[in-house]
Amino acid sequence: MTLLSRAWSPRLAEPVQDSDLQRTSLFDTALGACGIAWSERGVTRFQLPEADRAATQRRLQRRVAVNPGPHDPPPAIREAITLVRRYLAGERVDFSPITVDLAEVGEFHRKIYAALRTVGWGQTASYGDLAKQVDAPGAARAVGQAMGRNPIPVIIPCHRVLAAGRGIGGFSAYGGTVTKERLLALEGVHLGSGQLALPGLLPARR
């Protein structure tokens, strides 16, 4: 099975009742060590860089209950890793063809994530926009909760979701909203915080 296809619409693995055994791997990017987990159906987790490589590994393993690894990625996962590396190096990348496995995610959150995957590079949407797209107007807060619990950030691009009036909103990855703004800046979206001129994913430590 390949995780990449030429289809324009985002691919979503069919949910199942039992969890597959998952595997994990860390890989280096221009912005630090990232982690990825997968089942036989697709990507199950993605971990942005933490304070250091060991912290990234620990965070990823805490989120994967079975066979935390590390493991050698199969060819399809290596393709997904290549896309992430290109993206974090500043290249315009489309993640929608990557198959994700959201079997452990509730139905409402799966709908939100599917809608979010249609928000492309350099675009943003509000929590309310996504709520309307899944026919749940007034559910902006629930959308915000889905963003905070997103198991596959970047690939499912929760950093592109803003509060009303283009406020930054929240971000649960290490570094919080600074990380979110840094990812948006890679896509040419600047919200005017003035904190993004430093190298790497996060501001330099004092």
Segment 144-184, tens digit of pLDDT: 999 999 999 999 999 999 988 778 888 888 888 899 999 99
The answer to whether residues 45 and 101 touch, using CB atoms and an 8 Å cutoff, is no
In the prediction, which pLDDT does 167 show? Answer: 83
Which CATH code is given to the segment(s) 107-186?
1.10.10.10
Structure tokens at 134: 């899944």
Name the region of 95 (left: φ>0; alpha: ψ -120 to 50; beta: rest).
alpha
Of the candidates 191, 163, 164, the one whose C-alpha atom is nearest the C-alpha of residue 178 is 191
34 is catalytic: no
In the prediction, which pLDDT does 10 show? Answer: 55
Q: Per-residue pLDDT for 101 more than 70?
A: yes
Distance from C-alpha of 171 to C-alpha of 30, rounded to nearest angstrom: 21
Percent of the chain predicted with pLDDT > 90: 55
Of these residues, 31, 125, 156, 158, which one is catalytic? Answer: 158
The band of 93, judged by pLDDT with boundaries at 50, 70 and 90, is very high
Distance from C-alpha of 144 to C-alpha of 139, rounded to nearest angstrom: 9
pTM (predicted TM-score): 0.81
In the prediction, which pLDDT does 206 show? Answer: 29
